Amino acid sequence: MIRKNIDVMNKVDEILNEELEEKANETKKPVEEPKIIPHKKYTSPVMVYALGGLGEVGKNTYCVENDNDLIIIDAGVRFPEDELVGVDYVIPSYKHLKDVNQKIRALFITHGHEDHIGAVPFLIKSVNVPVIYAPKLACALIRQKILDQKIKTSVKLVEYNDTSVVTAGSFKVSFFRVTHSIPDSYGICIDTTEGRIVTTGDFKIDLTPVGPDIELHRISTMGEEGVDLLLADSTNAEKEGWTPSEKNVLNAINDIFDRAHGRLIISTFSSNVSRIQQILDCALKHDRKCIIVGRSMVTAVDCARKFGYIRFPDSYFKDVSDLKTLKDSEILILCTGSQGEAMAALNRIANGTFKGISVSFGDTVVFSSSPIPGNGASIAKVVNQLTRMGANVITNQIIKDIHSSGHPSRLELKMNLKLFKPKYFMPAHGEYHMLKLHGDIAKELGMPDDHVFILANGDTLILKDHKVTQGERLQAEDVYIDGYDINGVSTAVIRDRKILHDDGMVSVLVLLDSKNSRLISPPRVNTVGFVSYGKYENHLTRHAATMVEEGLNELFNSKHVTFNDIKNTVRSIVSKYYFRKTQRNPMIIPLVLDKRENLPAARKK
């Protein structure tokens, strides 16, 4: 067995070395150095606030602003809950940024996850952002987004690293490397005339990472120099102990490969590059060819391979069309859909609508991720469907080590606070209870209550002369994106969709002779997506029609009637009747048609 493993690893090294040699000979495009803008000596209070990321997981958008300058840190999306029917993304309202557009100096990106870069296309179409500074991998992903959406923009994309220093207006910005579930993750330090602000971005303190170490020495140095305000990731503030290292996952994944005798289908976040590399390492060790499905997975793997973050032989990548020529034991399908998303590859495979791939008895399907809050029901639906089709489904609830979070647990949060030693603290990126727990940790370590700020999106902090106080509130509403329309869907439309989703619709057709104030025929009531009571349903519609007829005849006899009076009467009668009978509130749509010869007069009126 030992000899076999040595032979396999020698084979792996041989294939990889050949490919690396070929790629080393290719002409490499030089990395453009960040442009240093002359520093402006200008003094004014500095305002810090979030347009997204507080009271929620996702939609991270933080701003630092003074009288002359404004910089934005991250521009993320939040994925919609099930009740947001037809919504693709939730993004922040950019109304305030539009009002102060002339102040915007730059957008800084901490890393390439969707909840930090997903809204970049919507942001740059809404306001003028002169330049975006981002790590190498995030830069590549943003370029692809702009290309995919065919956005014509003059925004400049500039790569930064841990040695870069950028001056944007009166702000001096530097970067420190952190460990997370995607390469090229950074925290950001902003030096202002009023004091120093630091945001960790998403991080965890992984002492055996897959990739470079977190720069604890830089963090400690900043703490010794003095940090006035710290913003830190709160996503795992409710979890005790220490977040397991990403390397712990490797043994669990390897064990799954050992036990899977048929096809292996693994779903994870497309942006979790470290996890993808571990899966591919196991595939190579077990001589499995990899088929990648799902647009975001294909894009992420292509970008990561281009910059050397994923190493895997070209000859081991196959297409869906190659499935027929491969043995089941030689196949790995790596796909999107670990959160049960309706249009993701895994959901379509489970429903039998993905061309060329279907689940059969003997397949092993692995969810190598933890559910994002609100996605549990969607994931359970996909798991049940896959199980019905004969697959052996493995989730993180069954084998705990097939996923390791990229966020810090309580001991890491304590260590982070001890190293930074901030004077003031603003927990960031998390639902309210996560922010509150993170704030309690800071107080437990000795920080005064009035130096810890548990804020909501739109709340502001004012930094002046190294002291922080709470300021006035800004507008920070949600915008619901349906497709690529940056105007979003109004709250009223979302409310209507929810009513249709939960309670259905009742339409009432009224044929009217407005000249003589009478009904031409009895009203007709129809229900759509409302309720099914068999024969009793016909009774409900007939009774509702009778009540509408009686109500309208009474209305015609009482006063001069307008079309709005008729519609309001119909809505009132039908909604009260159906709620009394079914305890539901369907959407009521009155359709009032006037007699043909009355139409010109009615229009004039």
109-168 pLDDT tens trace: 999 999 999 999 999 999 999 999 999 999 989 998 998 888 888 899 999 999 999 999
How many Cα atoms occupy the beta-carbon half-sphere of 153 within 13 Å? 24
Choice between 231 and 36, residue whose per-residue pLDDT is larger: 231
Pick the closest to residue 56 from 24, 92, 22 (CA basis): 92
Structural contact between residues 594 and 512, judged by C-beta atoms closer than 8 angstroms:
yes
Choice between 39 and 258, residue whose per-residue pLDDT is larger: 258
Beta carbons within 10 angstroms of residue 348's beta carbon: 20
Which active-site residues does the annotation give?
233, 407
Would you say residue 322 has pLDDT above 70?
yes
Burial degree of 54 (CB within 10 A; 0-12, 13-18, 19+)? buried
Helix (H, G, I), strand (E, B) or coil at 317: strand
Q: What is the pLDDT of residue 578?
A: 84
Would you say residue 353 has pLDDT above 80?
yes
Range name among 36-45, 328-337, 525-534, 573-582 with the lowest pLDDT average: 36-45
Percentage of the chain exceeding pLDDT 90: 48
Dig out the tokens for 40 from the structure.
């402006």
**Integer Cα distance of 116 and 75 in angstroms:** 5
**Residue 80 per-residue DSSP state:** P
**Integer Cα distance of 427 and 437 in angstroms:** 9
**Residue 375 per-residue DSSP state:** -
Range name among 29-38, 81-90, 123-132, 326-335 with the lowest pLDDT average: 29-38
438-474 pLDDT tens trace: 999 999 999 999 999 999 999 999 999 999 999 999 9
Q: What is the pLDDT of residue 598?
A: 58
**Integer Cα distance of 48 and 122 in angstroms:** 22
Q: What is the pLDDT of residue 313?
A: 92
Q: What is the pLDDT of residue 584?
A: 79
Range name among 188-197, 351-360, 411-420 with the lowest pLDDT average: 351-360
Domains belonging to the chain, first-starting first, are 46-241+406-481 (3.60.15.10), 247-398 (3.40.50.10710), 504-604 (3.10.20.580)
When mean pLDDT is compared over 42-46, 48-52, 352-356, the highest value belongs to: 48-52
